[in-house]
Amino acid sequence: MKCTHSFCLLILILGMAACDPPGNRKETPESQPEAFEYALVLHGGAGSMNFENFPEPSQQKYLHALDSALQLGLDLLKSGGESLDAVEVVIRCMEDNPLFNAGKGAVFNSEGRNELDASIMTGRDLNAGAVAGVNDIRNPISAARAVMEKSPHVLFSGHGASKFAEEAGLEMVDPSYFYTDDRYKSYLRAQEDEKHGTVGCVALDRYGNLCAGTSTGGITNKKYGRIGDSPIIGAGTYANNRTCGVSATGHGEFFIRWTVAHDISALMEYRGMDVEEAAKLVVEEKLIEAGGEGGVICLDRYGRAAMVTNTTGMFRAYGNAAGDRTVAIFK
């Protein structure tokens, strides 16, 4: 039988579609899910933890702190606030809470000092700001936002970051502000199970804009001057309205080398994966094969969340305009 050009073309297209793996198929307007009016996801770090060494009273403290931070962000988004403001407000709340390894609760480095990192990124225009190795800025996430909005640069470190923050009118503190007995005792013990404590947040507002932010005190007993993935755009933080927003927590060197946050976005953009598939591929396969530990929280452009970790636990919470709500610790 002779084949007309149009008929052959139709057969070719149908054959290609049949052979195309689900992960490579792009969304069509008909297949797009309905977006939540707003949504927010946050984390307070991931690592090795279990019921035996984590008493119930301590669990309740963390659950309450996570839920309170979540509600703060959701209230702002519900009232018409933007995702950028929500992310900053949520992370500032967690930076001020000594339970978390960020801001007030930052861990100590090998010299017995605190060195803090933070970054923030907006998905609408891919604008970003970050600070690294600071020890006198009360809320590093606000300094990261100031870098993004008030300078042509992306990342300031050390003394330069502090000078910039002071000129921007941010609250500066004496380095002793970050001292807490619990963190100092952890430094003296250098406990392995306290290495991966970082805070992060991703928000989607009613205008369809994503924003992601991350803040950390780093690794307990880390070498002076060491900078992890949290202030590195594409590693610990990434946001793109076309795909998703991501905040990571874990062994930063691996997250930097494998550009974890951007990799999740790229898998969604170029292979058509949904946010859960992409996050699991990176965290549960690529990172494990490489020997990296940690997790991510993500929101796609519809407000659907992925909270994935290859450790035994990750402090996390999620909520949206439909009333869905999750607050959890263990995997």
| Cβ pair 249, 294 in contact under 8 A | yes
pLDDT single digits (tens) 9-21: 433 334 434 444 4
Q: What is the CA radius of gyration of the chain?
A: 21
Distance CA 145, CA 31 (A): 35
Residues across the chain: 331
| Cβ pair 128, 154 in contact under 8 A | yes
E-strand ranges in 124-217 read: 128-134, 155-157, 198-204, 210-216
Instruction: State mean pLDDT over 158-168.
Output: 97
- Going by C-alpha positions, the residue among 133, 114, 94, 109 that lies closest to residue 177 is 114
Strands 305-309 and 39-47: unpaired
| Cβ pair 55, 177 in contact under 8 A | no
- Going by C-alpha positions, the residue among 331, 265, 326, 329 that lies closest to residue 55 is 329
| Cβ pair 270, 285 in contact under 8 A | no
**pLDDT bracket for residue 27 (50, 70, 90):** low
pLDDT single digits (tens) 236-279: 999 999 999 999 999 999 999 999 999 999 999 999 999 999 99
55 vs 171, which has greater pLDDT? Answer: 171
Which of 85-94, 104-113, 278-287 comes out lowest in average pLDDT?
104-113
pLDDT single digits (tens) 220-232: 888 889 999 999 9
Q: Which residues are catalytic?
A: 198
Angle at 293 between CA 55 and CA 228, to 5 degrees: 105
Phi, psi for residue 171 in degrees, rounded to 5:
-75, 120
pTM reported for the whole predicted model: 0.89
Angle at 237 between CA 233 and CA 238, to 5 degrees: 80
Three-state SS at 83: helix
pLDDT single digits (tens) 183-206: 777 766 654 444 446 999 999 999
Name all contacts of 58-62 with Cβ < 8 Å and 24+ positions apart: 59/329, 61/99, 62/99, 62/315, 62/329
50: left (phi over 0), alpha (psi -120 to 50) or beta: beta
AA letter at 150: K
- Going by C-alpha positions, the residue among 56, 39, 65 that lies closest to residue 315 is 65
Return the biggest CA–CA distance within the chain. Answer: 85
Distance CA 249, CA 100 (A): 12
- Fold of the 39-330 domain: Glutamine Phosphoribosylpyrophosphate, subunit 1, domain 1 (3.60.20)
| Cβ pair 173, 183 in contact under 8 A | no
**pLDDT bracket for residue 180 (50, 70, 90):** confident
Distance CA 19, CA 89 (A): 47
In the predicted model, is pLDDT for residue 1 greater than 70?
A: no
| Encoded tokens for 205 | 């507002």
pLDDT single digits (tens) 304-319: 999 999 999 999 999 9
Percent pLDDT > 90 in the chain is: 77
In the predicted model, is pLDDT for residue 23 greater than 80?
A: no
Inter-helix orientation angle 158-167/140-150, to 10°: 80
- The residues spanned by each domain of the chain are 39-330
- Going by C-alpha positions, the residue among 209, 231, 38 that lies closest to residue 132 is 231
Inter-helix orientation angle 140-150/83-95, to 10°: 150
91: left (phi over 0), alpha (psi -120 to 50) or beta: alpha
* Cβ neighbours of 215 (radius 10 Å): 34
